[in-house]
Amino acid sequence: MNTFDGITANLSWAADIFSACCGRAAELLVSARHGRRIAYLALAGLAASACAPNALVSEWKSPAYTGRPFDRVLVLAASSDPDIRRVYEDAFVQELAAMGVTATAAHAVIQADGEVPVERILQAIGEVGANAVLLTRMIGKERQAGSYTPPPLQAGATAEFYAVYQAGMTTRAPPANGYEVYSLETSLWDAADLALVWFSTSQTFQPGIASGAARDLADIVVKPLRQQHLL
């Protein structure tokens, strides 16, 4: 996993997932003195005023799902950094709880770092009695120097839960400095058969620590789920 290694080194992939900038040029200012702790910073010091921290770009709901709203959700973040994973899972749990949904962070029941086997995820679903899984991952990173876009979910396309999760765990964003736009994807899966029910994409810029980005992302993602009567 990438970490800072001097002034010209880069944020770890996990920090990359949860930081982004909007469509204006910005300069990344970092300090090597913070070492690994810089992974918790999300593009600190960006000079990009007048842009929203997060923006929902698109969303899709499966026309095949006609069931009741989900009320017990297992929250899973596809990140190889356990600290970033906890930050984002906890943020979504708090947002869901505020809406009256019983939610459990995966890290609370899966005591393991790195990629989790699908069998362990299924076991965790049973342990907490979840009827849905909410999964977040990075799907794109655009920069002045080029772009990085692993395949996102497509409306109406066949999707396999574990393949989506695994891609989020194994993808690594190449290092870059300067202006960057990050795309995140959050998807909701029926725990009964791991069928894809809903997904959204968002672009986000969040100066400061990852917890702030996580709270903002959870806020803009969870509300549409309630509006779609999925929660």
Of the candidates 122, 124, 149, the one whose C-alpha atom is nearest the C-alpha of residue 138 is 149
Which pLDDT value is given to residue 124? 97
What distance in Å separates the CA atoms of residue 30 and residue 178, rounded to the nearest whole number?
A: 11
Separation of CA 141 from chain center: 13
What is the structure's pLDDT at 13? Answer: 34
Q: How far, in Å, CA of 203 to CA of 20, rounded?
A: 7
Report pLDDT digits (tens) over 136-171: 998 877 764 544 455 788 888 788 898 888 877 765
- 72 three-class SS: strand
CA-based radius of gyration for the chain: 17
At 98, the amino acid letter reads: A
Residues lower than pLDDT 70 in the chain: 1-53, 143-150, 170-181, 205-210
pLDDT of residue 59: 95
∠56-211-36 over CA atoms, to 5°?
120
CA 95 to chain centre: 14
